[in-house]
Structures are given as structure tokens and as C-alpha cells.
RNA sequence: GGGCGAGUAGCUCAAUCGGAUAGAGCAACGGCCUUCUAAGCCGUAGGUUACAGGUUCGAUCCCUGUCUCGCCUACCA
């Protein structure tokens, strides 16, 4: 109903402007007054018209308000229109009617066919344990998936696995040439680690590789010049062996990366994050996706063979911003195929994205890989199972990838556009976000020595190569331990299993909210003090609020649904009119869908996190001010109960979108 | 050199397409637990929105210039 009122109002303003003044305004701006007591909507349109009409804004506002009140009647849901301030028009709604509509939950969105979308997120190199930076990616991605589904899209979730890249190669170099292990020995190690189970963190295979990767990176940089050259050569030999496949090195790499991949999936599952499909680079190579893409790129003229200059002998592509000045070679062009004939990462990515949009004319084989409680995750392979869901061929895609990759991402879009796939290019969203870094203090806490010059900086970038960072599982364990201690103290009568479950839910709530409350563009300077805080603008604060609301209904022995159903027969709704703290909660509920739309169109989940937190604040304020159980006036009590019920309903929906559960008790 | 992003309270961050008095949380200080859970609530203090111009009824937001910081810009992946 709220949305319809907005539309009606904007339409009415447009009509009046046209018929009375013969004016056309492209965009009628609708705002909220700074204080709810002033009304539900505010129209600043009079300011815009002041110049055209050569009249004071306030006068225009008065006139327009008058016309509006004869057009939109109380029967439509509008109560009054009045000029305010220097020239605003404040609009009051029929609160009782809006409340009734909200309580009955009649905010159905049209069931039109929404396009199938594809979200790629997580995409961790399978060569080491996941860290906080990966958590930000996965949590942002998973939340995006949840809100797209809430809007009504069919969403396929993909986690791209670069199992044949240089990072995997580095760890394999470590196993084979630094530790001098044989293939069976590596396999035995994986088996031993798996037998220990996920609880033995320090002995986990991905933790082992975390350290090994750091050692190898250091090993490359050590020794004499000749040694370094030799080691670098070893590195590329290993990489090429892995890329070509069908040899023992590739076999070991596959075992190692697959074992780590499973651990990553388990880590993410702790946070309630799941995937539908895991496309791997090995299949993109062996199924020759690139050959087909190369052909298409040449045919469309996107790629051209550079004849001279520094890129002579390469197949290159003009960059999005740049362009050939006409004279001589475009030195700024992006190399896609090297002079030795090998394809770069961006080239493979173009092929992969043609597949995503169903424009390649090739497909993966699919095989079952990981079982979730409610569905199965498939992985790419050469020859797959007979029956499998179809992935790819999406109308719109979102790539959750940090901002450092904006250049290669732009290249892929440029290629699509150049090939004439303008619709695909328009529906390609690089959901970029800034990295997670560590505060210098946090780095020191972890036992890393911080260079003097870094000590003054607000943050230090994590580095997998240096083994510098906070591992995802360690952080989750730390959060769980901290919440567990608090739960033990507060809920001593509950069973061990219950308390553990609650502690985990709170830990996840804290972590997910922490990652979501920042806007995408801001670097998160990670610090345990902030992340382990459960007060103020945090997940546990919101969870606690929902638990509080639910306790009211448990205590009184009635359901929130029946409290909402009672709104119809409320005689005392006028009470809400004077009580802005109550009305604020209902208005918050009214704005939910609009906030969802904003979050999606701006690809900014933090909008929803903030909305959710503000609702929690409003409810806590209300909770403190009104004591429901001891309220004697029956009508007023019904109003208070309905308000608690709407708050609980909204909090539950919003937290679900954010991937945060409401614990039994806190 | 070029591209992208950032600079707002002591700290970490917001600010709905350019709108009314720039808001939260932490930290600090002062209050509130015989009452539905104090992981809570209320209050105090804290600001020349990096700087200088410009655009207009109005600028944290748009334009120009300057300063500072980060990332990207390889025939690495």
C-alpha cells in the first residue's frame, strides 16, 4: 500500500503541474520529513518551480498543497497536505489504514517473470585456508543472493575455482621440491588430516598449506641469483604441468586443490553459505572454451594482431577508456594472447563469461560434488553425469570481486560489448568492494612484526604470500568462544548442546553483520576488538532485540500473528498518531520493500543492515518506554502488542536476508 | 604519467538522485535493574565535512584546481 500511495502522489503532482501550469517535471522527488511528526512524505518540488514560475517557493507549496488536497482524498489513504518550512509540502497519511494494510501483510509484489540471474562469489584460490578478506567476499555475495531471491529472482550461485593457477602451483612446488614428498605421501597427509576432523584446526590440511605457501614464497626470494632463477623455472614448469594435465604433478595438484576446496565449502557452510555450481579453470582449459572464444573474438574484430611496438606478435584488445590515437601501435592495449601463443587470464575470463551468458556454444560436464541439507552442489568435469541442472545462460550476472580487479573486469565487459553483446554487457555487474586489512595493533597481536613506517598507518594489507592474515575458521572459533562464555553465564539452565548452538548463532550474527555494515567502498581495518564487540551497532544487538520481542509473546501466551490480526478491530489506533515512537516502527515496516530495492539497485547490502539496526533501535526505545504486560487498557495493550509483533516480523525477515538467525534465547 | 576509490566528531563509519538542525556505534563523563532479559535505555560533551574557488533558492554530495592516502595500470595468474 505504501508503494501505491507513493505512486499515486507522484502521479497527482505531475498531473497538477501539467494542467495548472503546463509544466513537465521529469522526476518528482519524494522524501521523508526530518521528523515523523511533520508527516510521512515531503515534496521539495516547489523549490524547483520557483524560478520557472517566478514565485516564492512557499507560495507555490501552499497552492500545490491546496490542489493536492482536492485531488487526493482521505478515502485514498491521504489525510492532509500542508506547506512547511521554506517551501516543502508535507503529506500526512491515514495511519490507521496503513497500519491495517501492514498488519495483514498485503504487500505482494507483482508476480511478473523476473530474469534468471547468476552470482559468482567466494572464488578463493584452493591453495590455503580462507581468511577474513574471503569472508567479506562470501558474506557480501551470499547476502546479495538472498536479497535477489527475496525479490523473486531465480539465482544460481557459482564459486569459480582457479585450480590450475600459479598459487596452486606454488603449494605443489612446496610439497614436491621443498618438502620432497612423493605423490602418495601427499595423499597420505591429506587422508591423515581428513581423519582428524575439522576440530583439529592446527592440523587441518588448508592450515598446513597456508604455512607451506608462505614458506615457498619466501624460498623463491632466497638464495643466490642462480638458485632464484632455477626456482622460478621450477615454478613455471610446475604451472605448465598442472595446466596441461595428464601427468603426476597435475594429479597431485588436483588432489591438493580438491581437498582444500572441500574445506573452504565447510568453512562457508558454518556461516550458512552454500553454492550451486563450482566451475573450474581446468575444464575451461581442457574443454577448450578459449579456442571457441578466440575464434569469436577474431571474427568480431575485438582482437587484432599487433604488428609493431612493445606488443608486437600479440593478439591485443583496446582498453575501455583508451583508444588508438590513429598513429602507430596502441601501446596501452591489453594483451590477450602472448607472442608465444598462450592466453592470458583475461582471455580465459572472456570465454568463461561468454558461457555465463550462454553465448559460447559450449558447456561443462557436471558432477555431484558436495551435499547440503537441502540441495547438491555440482562441480565441472570433462564428461559429467547424465542428469544435472543447467547452469549458465543467465540474463544478468553479478561478480563479487574486490576492487583491485576492476581493470580486468572492465576488459571482459569491453570484449562483450565489442562482440555486439550489448545487452549482456549492460547486465554485467562487477560487484566490487574494498579489501579487508588489519590494524597495526591487530597485526602485532597476531605475532607479526610491524615495520616502523606501517605503524602509523590505519591499516596493513593482508598477504597470503607472507602468511599474514586472520584465518576464517580461527576467527569463527574465537567469536564462538567469546559468545559461549557469555551464554554460559546467562543461560546456565540450558543444555550444553543448546548453549553451543546459541553461541554459534550469535558468533555468526556478529561476523556477518560486521562484514555487512560497511559500505562496499570502504576498506575494513580489521581488529579483534571491534569484531568481538557485541554492543551497539552489531549483529548480536539486533538478535537480542528480536529475542526480547519474542519473549513478550512467549510470556503472554499468544502468537505475534494473532496480535497482528487484532489490528483490524483496534479502536484506539488514534493513540498511535500521537506516539511517534510507535509509529516509527510501523513506518520502518512500510519502507522494507523500498529499502530492498535500493539495496539491489545500488548493489549495497549495507543499506539493509542499517535499516535493520535502526528498526532494532526503534524497538528497544519502544520496549523501554512501554511496558506491555502490565498495560491495563485493553485497547492500548492490543496496539502495543501489534507493534511488537510487526517489529518482530520485520526483524525476522531482515535478519533472514542478512543470513543471521534469531537464537532461542540470549 | 593515466585510471579508480577515499579524506566527515578522539576512533570506526553513515547521510535516501542536491534538501529542513550533518547522524550512529565505540571510547569519555553522568544517570536508570523489586517492572516483558542491562548484549538494554536516557542524558552530556565532541564538527570550518582535507583546502581554495565555482554552479544555485539550497552543496558532505555536482564542476575546476591543489594537497594527502590506498589500489590498479606487466607478453604474472
Which element (helix H / strand E) includes A186? helix A183-196
pLDDT 10s digits, A108-141: 565 667 889 999 999 999 999 999 999 999 999 9
CATH number of A2-93: 3.30.1360.70
The reply to whether A597 has its C-beta less than 7 Å from any atom of strand B is no
A258 in Cβ contact with A186 (< 8 Å)? no
CA of A362 to C1' of B29 (A): 68
**DSSP designation for A505:** H
Q: Which nucleotide is nearest, taking the CA of residue A312 and each C1'?
A: B75
Q: Which nucleotide is nearest, taking the CA of residue A665 and each C1'?
A: B37
pLDDT at A449 over 90: no
DSSP for A427-439 reads: TEEEEEEPPEEE-
Q: Which residue is nearest to nucleotide B32 (CA to C1')?
A: A624
A479 in Cβ contact with A503 (< 8 Å)? no
Nucleotides, chain B, CB distance < 7 Å = 2-6, 11-17, 19-21, 24-27, 35-37, 39-42, 56-58, 69-77
pLDDT in the model for residue A515? 96
Q: Sorting pLDDT into bands at 50, 70 and 90, what band is A223? A: confident
CA of A294 to C1' of B14 (A): 46
Measured between alpha carbons, how far is A195 from A205 in angstroms, rounded to an integer? 11
Residue numbers in A 330-349, CB below 7 Å of strand B: 332, 335, 338-340, 342, 344-345
The reply to whether A310 has its C-beta less than 7 Å from any atom of strand B is yes
The reply to whether A51 has its C-beta less than 7 Å from any atom of strand B is yes
Where in chain A is CATH 3.30.1360.70? Answer: 2-93
Mean pLDDT of A354-375: 96
Q: Which nucleotide is nearest, taking the CA of residue A235 and each C1'?
A: B76
A355 in Cβ contact with A362 (< 8 Å)? yes
What strands lie across the sheet with A436-438, from one edge to the other? A460-461, A436-438, A524-526
Measured between alpha carbons, how far is A545 from A617 in angstroms, rounded to an integer? 8
Q: Which nucleotide is nearest, taking the CA of residue A85 and each C1'?
A: B20
Q: Which residue is nearest to nucleotide B7 (CA to C1')?
A: A522
pLDDT in the model for residue A109? 60
Q: Which nucleotide is nearest, taking the CA of residue A622 and each C1'?
A: B41
Residue numbers in A 149-188, CB below 7 Å of strand B: 162, 164-167
Q: Which nucleotide is nearest, taking the CA of residue A408 and each C1'?
A: B72
CA of A568 to C1' of B15 (A): 37
Measured between alpha carbons, how far is A146 from A654 in angstroms, rounded to an integer? 10
CA of A24 to C1' of B57 (A): 20
Q: Sorting pLDDT into bands at 50, 70 and 90, what band is A73? A: confident
Non-local (6+) Cβ contacts of A555 within 8 A are A629
Measured between alpha carbons, how far is A93 from A9 in angstroms, rounded to an integer? 11
What strands lie across the sheet with A78-84, from one edge to the other? A41-43, A88-93, A78-84
Residue numbers in A 389-448, CB below 7 Å of strand B: 403-404, 406-408, 434
pLDDT in the model for residue A110? 56
Mean pLDDT of A594-608: 94
**Which residues lie across from A381 on neighbouring strands?**
A365
Chain mean pLDDT for chain A: 92
Specify the higher pLDDT residue, A579 or A71: A71
In 3D, which of A310, A363, A361, A302 has the Cα closest to residue A336?
A302
Q: What's the Cα-to-Cα distance from A457 to each of A87, A235, A463, rounded to whole Å?
A: 47, 34, 16
pLDDT in the model for residue A635? 86
Compute the half-sphere exposure of residue A353: CA atoms within 13 Å on the CB side of its CA.
29
Q: Which residue is nearest to nucleotide B41 (CA to C1')?
A: A624
Amino acid at each position: 500500500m505504501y508503494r501505491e500511495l507513493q505512486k499515486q502522489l507522484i502521479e497527482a503532482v505531475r498531473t497538477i503541474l501539467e494542467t495548472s501550469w503546463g509544466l513537465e517535471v521529469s522526476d518528482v522527488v519524494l522524501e521523508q520529513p526530518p521528523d515523523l511528526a511533520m508527516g510521512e512524505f515531503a515534496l521539495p518540488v516547489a523549490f524547483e518551480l520557483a524560478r520557472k514560475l517566478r514565485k516564492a517557493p512557499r507560495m507555490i507549496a501552499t497552492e500545490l498543497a491546496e490542489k493536492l488536497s482536492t485531488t487526493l482524498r482521505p478515502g485514498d489513504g491521504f489525510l492532509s497536505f500542508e506547506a512547511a518550512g521554506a517551501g516543502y509540502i508535507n503529506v500526512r497519511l491515514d495511519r490507521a489504514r496503513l497500519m491495517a494494510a501492514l498488519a495483514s501483510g498485503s504487500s505482494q509484489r507483482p508476480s511478473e517473470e523476473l530474469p534468471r540471474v547468476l552470482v559468482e562469489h567466494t572464488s578463493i584460490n584452493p591453495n590455503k585456508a580462507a581468511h577474513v578478506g574471503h569472508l567479506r567476499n562470501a558474506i557480501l555475495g551470499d547476502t546479495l543472493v538472498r536479497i535477489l531471491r527475496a525479490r523473486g529472482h531465480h539465482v544460481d550461485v557459482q564459486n569459480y575455482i582457479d585450480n590450475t593457477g600459479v598459487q596452486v602451483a606454488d603449494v605443489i612446488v612446496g610439497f614436491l621440491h621443498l618438502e620432497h614428498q612423493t605423490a602418495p605421501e601427499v595423499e597420505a597427509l591429506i587422508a591423515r588430516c581428513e581423519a582428524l576432523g575439522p576440530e583439529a584446526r592446527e592440523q587441518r590440511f588448508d592450515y598446513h598449506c597456508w604455512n607451506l605457501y608462505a614458506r615457498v614464497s619466501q624460498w623463491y626470494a632466497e638464495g643466490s641469483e642462480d638458485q632464484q632463477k632455477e626456482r622460478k623455472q621450477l615454478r613455471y614448469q610446475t604451472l605448465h604441468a598442472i595446466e596441461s594435465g595428464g601427468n603426476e604433478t597435475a594429479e597431485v595438484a588436483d588432489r591438493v586443490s580438491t581437498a582444500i576446496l572441500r574445506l573452504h565449502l565447510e568453512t562457508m557452510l558454518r556461516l550458512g553459505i552454500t553454492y550451486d555450481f563450482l566451475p573450474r579453470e581446468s575444464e575451461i582449459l581442457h574443454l577448450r572454451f578459449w579456442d571457441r572464444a578466440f575464434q569469436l573474438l577474431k571474427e568480431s574484430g575485438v582482437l587484432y594482431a599487433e604488428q609493431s611496438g612493445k606488443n608486437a606478435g600479440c593478439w591485443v584488445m583496446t582498453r575501455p577508456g583508451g583508444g588508438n590515437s590513429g598513429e602507430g601501435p596502441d601501446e596501452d592495449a591489453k594483451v590477450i594472447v602472448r607472442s608465444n601463443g598462450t592466453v592470458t587470464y583475461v582471455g580465459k575470463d572472456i570465454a568463461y563469461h561468454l558461457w555465463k551468458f550462454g553465448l559460447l556454444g559450449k558447456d561443462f560436464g557436471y558432477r555431484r560434488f558436495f551435499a547440503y541439507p537441502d540441495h547438491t552442489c555440482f562441480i565441472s568435469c570433462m564428461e559429467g553425469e547424465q542428469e544435472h541442472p543447467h547452469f549458465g545462460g543467465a540474463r544478468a550476472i553479478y561478480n563479487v570481486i574486490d576492487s583491485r580487479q576492476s581493470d580486468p573486469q572492465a576488459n571482459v565487459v569491453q570484449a562483450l560489448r565489442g562482440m555486439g553483446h550489448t545487452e549482456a554487457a549492460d547486465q554485467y555487474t562487477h560487484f566490487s568492494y574494498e579489501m579487508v586489512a588489519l590494524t597495526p595493533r591487530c597485526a602485532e597481536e597476531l605475532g607479526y612484526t610491524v615495520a616502523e613506517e606501517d605503524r602509523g598507518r590505519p591499516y596493513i594489507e593482508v598477504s597470503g604470500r607472507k602468511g599474514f592474515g586472520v584465518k576464517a575458521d580461527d576467527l569463527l572459533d574465537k567469536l564462538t568462544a567469546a559468545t559461549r562464555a557469555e551464554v554460559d553465564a546467562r543461560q546456565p539452565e540450558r543444555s550444553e548442546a543448546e548453549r553451543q548452538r546459541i553461541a554459534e548463532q550469535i558468533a555468526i550474527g556478529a561476523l556477518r553483520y560486521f562484514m555487512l555494515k560497511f559500505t562496499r567502498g570502504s576498506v575494513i581495518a580489521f581488529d579483534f576488538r571491534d569484531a568481538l564487540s557485541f554492543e551497539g551497532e552489531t549483529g548480536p544487538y539486533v538478535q537480542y532485540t528480536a529475542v526480547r520481542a519474542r519473549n513478550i509473546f512467549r510470556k503472554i501466551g499468544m502468537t505475534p500473528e494473532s496480535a497482528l490480526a487484532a489490528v483490524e478491530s483496534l479502536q484506539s489506533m488514534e493513540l498511535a498518531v500521537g506516539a511517534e515512537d510507535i509509529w516509527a516502527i510501523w513506518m520502518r515496516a512500510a519502507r522494507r520493500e523500498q529499502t530492498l530495492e535500493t539495496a539491489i539497485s545500488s548493489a549495497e547490502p549495507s543499506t539493509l543492515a542499517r535499516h535493520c539496526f535502526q528498526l532494532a533501535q526503534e524497538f528497544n526505545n519502544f520496549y523501554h518506554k512501554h511496558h506491555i504486560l502490565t498495560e491495563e487498557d485493553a485497547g492500548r495493550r492490543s496496539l502495543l502488542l501489534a507493534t511488537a509483533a510487526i517489529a518482530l516480523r520485520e526483524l525476522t525477515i531482515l535478519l533472514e536476508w542478512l543470513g543471521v538467525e534469531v537464537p532461542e534465547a540470549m
